[in-house]
Amino acid sequence: MRTVWGLSPVMMPSLPQLLLLLLGTTCQLGLAMPSEERHRLRNQVVEMFDHAYKNYMDHAYPADELMPLTCRGRVRGLEPSRGDVDDALGKFSLTLIDSLDTLALLNKTAEFEAAVRKVLTDVRLDNDVVVSVFETNIRVLGGLLGGHSMAVLLREGGRHMLWYQDQLLHMAKDLGLRLLPAFNTSSGLPYPRVNLRHGVQGPATRTGTETDTCTACAGTIILEFAALSRFTGDPVFEEHARRALDFLWEKRQRNSNLVGTTINIHSGEWVRRDSGVGAGIDSYYEYLLKAYILLGDDLFLQRFNIHYASIMKYISQPPLLLDVHIHKPLMPARTWMDSLLAFFPGLQVLKGDIRPAIETHEMLYQVTKKHNFLPEAFTTDFRVHWAQHPLRPEFAESTYFLYKATRDPYYLEVGRTVLENLNRFARVPCGFAAMKDVRTGSHEDRMDSFFLAEMFKYLYLLFADEEDLPFDVEDYIFTTEAHLLPLSLSTALRSAAPSADNNTVLPPAGEELDDSNFEWTCPNTRLLFPDPGFPRTLREPIRSAVDKSCHVASSRSEPGLGRAPLRARDFMASNPEHLELLRRMGVSLIHLKDGRVQLVQHATQAVSPVAAEDGMRFMQEMMELSSQQQKEQLPPRAVQIVSHPFFGRVVLTAGPAQFGTDLSKSTTGVQGSVVVAEPYSGCAELANGVLVAGRIALLQRGQCMFAEKARNIQKAGAIGGIVIDDNEGSSSDTAPLFQMAGDGRSTDDVTLPLLFLFHKEGNILMEALREYREVEVLLSDKARDRAALYKGKALPSYLQSSEDPDGHEGDCTAEEEDHAAPSPSTPVDQSQAAVGEPDELTEGEDEPGAEDKPEDSEGGEEPADDGDSNSQSIDSLLADWKEDLEAFQQMEKDEL
């Protein structure tokens, strides 16, 4: 998941030796960045951290995390549930603990000391709350141990923290004991969740009922638990972590030597048999290699090398890393990649395999340049698959590693791009907001603790000189959450040696284990890259491949399908005769909460084989119709607040209208001040028409058609309109966006743009208007570059950016949309399916036949796909959709 640099005291050279091996002679693969510029970027990193940390402390503390759009803390139970993502929150001031060693690394000694005192006086660990064992281990236990390591370092320096008596370590042991009940299983694999106060006691404590966990969840324990054992002298923690790793190793697929994504914690059976290096598995591989480095146990290195050989044989297709099936490793399991695999080039640097690290990193960089950030998932032709980006640090992490290994100034420029994009697109007045959609630049009210724990460490280390650092980072290994653990722990107390069975390492079936695999730990770039320009030659083809992928998807030709007695285009969900025909064909209809219906066919329930065949044809026809409708849907739009003090930093996801100005064809969008229409519904001639003229009108949903609202504000002279949902609590975070339909007659007379905001996003805009009175917004198809918005006017330094180092815009997102792949259980918009029936969700705004069409769901129930391959069969589409759905649900559990 989240990797970091570290050197082992066993079989690993010192830093000077390593650099000699890595670099040989200094190779300038590009113009070196002037030291003044590096120092400016280093200082900017510190300023950005201060902006995020100060806003958390001012507006959120003691809550676990900051909500940067609404400037308040996220307290579990007080905010709408986000599902498994909230299991990271335990009412223990998560962001403060996760930030401790970042404060120390950035030379903020006074702030670090104050933060430690706050943790000791304010934080409680005995809360009656169910938390993720994985997240609590890497963020909270790791944060306490990293903070303890820094406190001891400062205390030994004789100037700071002289009062410190290992209190953070005592808290860490208390937390470790609270996590231990989760390991009380027959396999030794931990339950995925534990109650901090009651442990694992069954349904009464909302724990102990789970049967499955992800491989990374069970395999990312050893560093923190072993460090806790060696700090305290109590071996119980390291023993439990080793037992879990031993079990996962024993359950690997013996022919492929790969592990699956999800495993049954009781039986050891693989629940999900797809295997990759991204979500669900990532940090399991990372911790095998780093456990060898930290603990000096060759067993972990042997296991890692066997896994790594299989990864490179089956999963790695440079520059791609594609999931495969563990039992059939030559068979791809999916056609897209998730952003968590961005850690892997950094791990390859630590392993010493630089060439594929350069190739994969370059692919990720080109995708980043196309979308400003790495989408949560993207296809093999580098299109958006899942559009969110929660400010993940993995790409910055690998960038730092590659610069560390090569000293190629190219990676300083990559780091500059990361830094500038954060400031230009994610920075908001109260911190940094996650991207809800990288295509539009819209934000999510979320700033995860890992952003402060990891992102700023890697960027600071990238730009800092050695003398800028308060200690030698080569004396530490970084955990997956970038917490610092001293390598001196390798000589501390060790647990009892594992059993002989667990020490046995089997080579791949039918193969002798290559001894060179164990020796090749530190690369010699004089052998790998005799030509100083060689890394550039690796990057160029990848850059070209990504650039060429930026094209309009070709239309998929319709397969030759026979006609069914009931045509999909004629189907109406409200027609009893149609429902009876479906029943006879073995097709059942399920009403979903969002107003759509889902069709599922069971051939065995059909009245005859002929009816079953008709049902199959109907389903195929419905899937083609659904795919066609997805292609016709408009992508989400953006409402960008551009006036003081926002300066374009707040972007709200908006739903488009099927009428009026098409913002995707406008290069500038529509910009103007906002004013509330009177009446607010906009369903009558405006009483404040003089005020509305030349401005963008704010309207409330309800009482009349969307098109009628548009005509009324247009008559008053408005240049645009924003409709705000009247359903309190609605949000694009939890509901699919939809298109505002017309009123059943020609809407050619409507010439202004009309956008829709859910209540939460609309309330942000209304609050800004109440506080500042004059608020100016930009309505567009995607967020605009802030520097371009102001056309030469002075901006804060953090909004200013330099040109792309490669001279490439790399932006072709305007042509990109996600399309849901059809499936045997095809969700259909009910209002579309029930032709002639009013949409009950529109509260009377749409006539019969007009509908609210859901956009691609950010909530993750139906992952999107392009679906434009001519060669893709119906069967493969069905399989892809099912696997995409399972994968998205799993990645939600892994905090995607």
Task: Out of 65, 274, 282, 362, pick the active-site residue.
Answer: 282
250: annotated active-site residue: no
Token digits for 612?
């079953």
Query: Which amino acid type is present at position 519?
Result: E
Query: Which amino acid type is present at position 385?
Result: H
| Euclidean distance between CA atoms 741 and 453, whole angstroms | 45
282: annotated active-site residue: yes
The answer to whether 756 touches 723, Cβ cutoff 8 Å, is yes
| Euclidean distance between CA atoms 305 and 506, whole angstroms | 11
| Euclidean distance between CA atoms 749 and 763, whole angstroms | 30
Task: Out of 362, 394, 448, 855, pick the active-site residue.
Answer: 394
Q: For 77, what's the count of Cα atoms within 13 Å in the CB-facing half-sphere?
A: 8
The answer to whether 670 touches 697, Cβ cutoff 8 Å, is no
286: annotated active-site residue: no
Cβ of 168: how many Cβ atoms within 10 Å? 24
Query: Which amino acid type is present at position 36?
Result: E
* CB environment 646-668: b (16+ within 10 A), e (fewer): bbbbbbbbbbbbbbbbebeeeee
Cα angle: 192, vertex 196, 201; to 5 degrees? 65
Task: Out of 101, 135, 413, 761, pick the active-site residue.
Answer: 135
Task: Out of 113, 286, 376, 408, pick the active-site residue.
Answer: 376
Nearest CA-CA partner of 22 in 403, 415, 438: 403
The answer to whether 228 touches 140, Cβ cutoff 8 Å, is no
Question: What stretch of H or E contains 876?
Answer: helix 874-893
The answer to whether 176 touches 230, Cβ cutoff 8 Å, is no
- DSSP category for residue 253: B
376: annotated active-site residue: yes
Looking only at the bridges linking them, the beta strands covering 720-724 and 754-757 are: parallel
DSSP for 373-390, please give it. Answer: S--SEEETTS-EEE--B-
Query: Which amino acid type is present at position 296?
Result: G
Nearest CA-CA partner of 817 in 862, 868, 883: 868
At 565, phi and psi to the nearest 5?
Answer: -55, -35
Cβ of 113: how many Cβ atoms within 10 Å? 18
| Euclidean distance between CA atoms 459 and 286, whole angstroms | 20
The answer to whether 396 touches 412, Cβ cutoff 8 Å, is no
Active site residues: 135, 282, 376, 394
